[in-house]
Every structure is written in structure tokens, then in C-alpha cells.
Amino acid sequence: MKKLILAIVLLVSGTLLKAQNPIVPPGIYIADPSAHVWNDGKLYVYGSCDTVPYNYCSQKYHVLSTSDLKTWNIHENSFTSVGLNDQVSYSDGYLYAPDAQYKDGKYYLYYCLSGSDKTEGVAFSSSPSGSFVNGIPIQTGGINEIDPCVFVDDDGQAYYIWGQFSAKIAKLKPNMTEIDSSTIHNNLVTEKEHRFHEGGYMVKRDGIYYFVYCGLSLSGYASCISYSTSKSPWGPFKYGGIIINNDHCDPQNWNNHGSLVEFKGQWYVFYHRATHGCKTMRKACLEPIFFNEDGSIDEVEMTTQGASEPLDAHLQMDAARACILQGNVRIELIDSGQEALTEIRNGDVAIYKYLNFAEDIKSVTFRILPGLKKGSIKVNIGSLFKKESAIVPVPGDGDGKTWITVTVPISEVSGVNPVWLTFSTRGEKSYKVDWFEFE
């Protein structure tokens, strides 16, 4: 198993760049993040792995780990269903969203497969990062669906939760590999009553059970991380609301899937964003969340800064770290390890939250791949409705290969602000944007 040290902490002009969203690098697409903190004090994220724009997931899992939310490790191919490290002898199916648990020195990876009547499965490891081996089916009483989640209560009882549109729950036997089919309970939460779509995750805090899941937004899109609460893992659950909505992360965005975890005294919501103008190629992200005195959770917004403080505006900003996109513009892999904003059309917008303009700013520089037609980028700092801080001209007649940098003066700005980029262009064969930097 290869282990890749992820450069979320980057050295830029001698300065350390803090962690930010997404938490995976260009070219890596980890979705459905299920986060856990184990006895070693590190945080681990288990998720599916997208590899193509036309299919959800793939036949492999990677695991992410961190001790500080700044430097992330990728443990590649921690579990696979094909190839040299094939650990699913009975299927070559795609590996959909997983979960993990720990008991008595062993880590359990719970997975589900496409195209099989033995959908649910479990594999084993002595390490939280894998490799996980010897995948075996879990008998689910004939209820074969998707998105397993395993919750262990304070008394040590483990529960298996799975399903789409209607969540099911059952006790796991002490061996952690078999469901007690006599305990299967349907309709734990439903689409009608709780706006439940798929992708469940359960956590307990101050005596309240939180069931977190991909929920329907008010517009009917399955783009939210929503939650319901109960005094028992069996329910009844009461709908609580939306924690985060990933709508407008991509022009074709559809689903979401995530988790809640407490790490070093702070709670976070993990979720994913789509890229490439499709419903897949998703990237794991996180945001800090806050509980009210009654146990309710305030909705939070998607940001670029993620777990860190507002980002230093003087450091180079990868344009693909936009937290909101409006219009046709999307994030796309354009070269190995390089993503950019592409397919830009007139009036499209990209937003970055939040940057700290702690010192005087004199100019802004953009790295651009010009298209056939001229265009411009309007830079608004703080609000889209204020006068722009700069307008960056984009030349035309580009050859589609030669990147250029364009620097323009910028009006005075200070404090912590969002940055709005509004794109102007003629025609569909427009420019691409790699990064920008305030100086």
C-alpha cells in the first residue's frame, strides 16, 4: 500500500499555507467522508473514490488521516475489489460509500457493492488506515441497499444502519460481522418525514442521538447534510434541519454525504463537493459547526478556509478552491496535479471565503490560459454590490497552450472579506484560470 503525504501545508514564498478546502489535492477525488477519531488521537476519513466523470465511485478506497487538520496523509488503495490487492473474492463491483469501526484491537471497514445480491460487506485490519483484507458479505435479512454506517453506543452495543429513502437499523452481533436480523427496524427516518435521501451517519452528544444524512433541500435537490435527533438509537427521530448545503459547488451538482466528529474540542461537519461539471468527481471538505443550548445545530456555509482561520490574502490562491460557483464555470483537472476553472461563460461567478487582508494591497495577479476571444475578470472584495476593486483584462487569440500572468492595480482593501470573481467573455471557447495572488 502506497502512502502519499498530502501537501495541504504548502511552502509558498517561505510561508506556510494553512489547511483549506478541499482537504484532498488536485487529481484526487474522495467523496462520502465518514470521519472518526481513534485511540491514537488522529482523525481518519473513510470515503469512496471517484475516478471518472460518468460514474459514481470506483473499485478502490483511500483513507485520509491527520493529527492537526493541516497536514493530511493519503493511504492509497486501502481496500480494493479488483487487481493485485483484490480483497473481495466474490465480486468485482464498484465500492460505494463506506464506514469504519473499532473493537478489541481490530478495525472493521464496512462497504457496499454495486451489481451484487451480497451488497453489504466487511473487511478487517489491525491498522486504522489499512490495508483492509478478507472482505466477506454481511447477511442483511434480504435488505440489500447502500451506504452502511455503524454506530457503537456507550454500552458497547453496535448498530448497523443502511438504506436509501428509508433508513434501516439493526443490532450487530458481538463479532461485528453479523446482523441480528430479528432486530431489523425499518423507517428509522424517511424521505417524507425527515427529507432523508441516503448516506446516514450516527453520533451521540450529551444524551442526544444525531442521525446525519444526505437530505433534500427546499428545492428538492439531495444537496444537504441534514440531521434528525432522538433520545434512542431506535427513534423516534425528529427532523432538525440543514447543517450544510453544497448547492452551487458545481453546475451539475446532485448529492451530498458526510459525518459529524469532535476533534480536539471542536465539532466539524464533513461533506463533499462535485467538480468537472458532473455529479461525480467529488472532493471531501469540512467546516466547523456549533451546537445551541437545546442541542440544535446552526447551519454553516461552504468556505474555502475550512478548518483554518481566514486565509492570508497575500498567498497564492488556487482558483480551484472556489467554494461557490455560479453559472457554467466548473473546477476541472487540466494536467497531472493541476486543476483550474474552465468552461467559463459570460456572467459566471466564482467565490472564495474568507481572505484576510491584513496589510496594504497594491495589485492582483492572475495566471490565465487565454481563449479565442477577449474577456475580463471583475474582482469584488467584500460584496458583489460594491464597486469592483480591480478589472483584469484577458487577451484573446490564445493558442490553448500558453499560460500568461496579468497584473493590475487594486483599490484599497482591509479586513476579512470574501472575494468575488465575475467573468466576462465572448463565445464558449473562453479562457481558463489557474490561480490569483494579491501583492
Do 266 and 357 lie in one domain? The reply is no
Rounded CA-CA distance 328/326 in Å is 7
Instruction: Walk along the chain (439 residues) and give the pLDDT tens digit of each residue.
Output: 444 444 333 333 333 334 689 999 999 999 999 999 999 999 999 999 999 999 999 999 999 999 999 999 999 999 999 998 899 999 999 999 999 999 999 999 999 999 877 799 999 999 999 999 999 999 888 888 899 999 999 999 999 999 999 999 999 999 999 999 999 999 999 999 999 999 999 999 999 999 999 999 988 899 999 999 999 999 999 999 999 999 999 999 999 999 999 999 999 999 999 999 999 999 999 999 999 999 999 999 999 999 999 999 999 999 999 999 999 999 999 999 999 999 999 999 999 999 999 888 999 999 999 998 899 999 999 988 788 999 999 999 888 899 999 999 999 899 999 999 999 998 777 999 999 999 9
Distance CA 208, CA 377 (A): 48
In a shared domain, residues 252 and 380: no
Backbone φ, ψ for residue 257 (5° rounding): -170, 130
Q: Do both 338 and 283 map to the same domain?
A: no
Tally of CA atoms within 13 A in the half-sphere of 173 that contains its CB:
10
The torsion angles phi and psi of 391, rounded to 5 degrees, stand at -125, 120
Cα three-residue angle 360-361-364, rounded to 5 degrees: 170
Domain ranges, residue 348: 313-438
268/151 Cα distance (integer angstroms): 18
Q: 239 — phi, psi (to 5°)?
A: -60, 130
Task: Tell me which residue has cell 442541542.
Answer: 295
Question: Domain for residue 9, yes or no?
Answer: yes
Residue 296 lies in a domain: no
Same domain, 423 and 318: yes
Residue among 330, 411, 407, 394 at smallest CA distance from 366: 407
Do residue 244 and residue 336 come from a single domain? no
Spatial neighbors of 218 by CB under 8 A, at least 6 apart, are none
Predicted local confidence at residue 19, as pLDDT: 64
- Kindly state whether residues 152 and 219 are assigned to the same domain: yes
Q: Choose one of 273, 288, 303: the last residue of a domain.
A: 288
Flag whether 306 is in a domain. no
Peptide bond into 89 cis (omega under 30): no
Q: How far apart are CA 303 and CA 228, in angstroms?
A: 24
The pLDDT assigned to 12 comes to 33
Co-location of 158 and 229 in the same domain: yes
Contact present, 355 and 323 (Cβ < 8 Å): no
Q: Which residues contact 335 (CB under 8 A, 6 or more apart)?
A: none
Number of domain units in the chain = 2
Sequence-ordered list of residues with C-beta below 8 angstroms from that of 192, at least 6 positions apart, any chain:
none
238 & 352 share domain = no
Residue 300 lies in a domain: no
Q: Are residues 323 and 261 in the same domain?
A: no
118 with 54, same domain? yes
Q: What CATH number corresponds to the domain at position 323?
A: 2.60.120.260
Looking at residue 387, its pLDDT comes to: 86
Q: Which of 108, 105, 237, 236 is nearest to 173 (CA)?
A: 108
Write out the DSSP string of 96-158.
---EEEEETTEEEEEEEBSS-S--EEEEEESSTT---EEEEE---TT---S--EEEE-TTS-E
The CATH number of the domain holding residue 57 is 2.115.10.20
Give the Cα separation of 376 and 55 in Å (integer): 35
Is residue 351 one of the residues assigned to a domain?
yes
Q: How far apart are CA 225 and CA 380, in angstroms?
A: 29
Peptide bond just before 354 cis, omega within 30 deg: yes
C-alpha cell at 332: 476541472
Grid coordinates belonging to 35: 470521519
Residue 302 in any domain: the answer is no
Say if residue 248 is in the same domain as residue 318. Answer: no
Inside any domain, residue 298: no
Output the pLDDT for position 140. Answer: 85
Using omega within 30 degrees of 0 as the cis cutoff, is the peptide bond preceding 22 cis?
Answer: yes
179 plus 320 within the same structural domain = no
Asked if residue 303 is part of any domain, the answer here is: no
> 418 with 356: CB under 8 angstroms?
no
The set of cell numbers assigned to 181 is 436480523
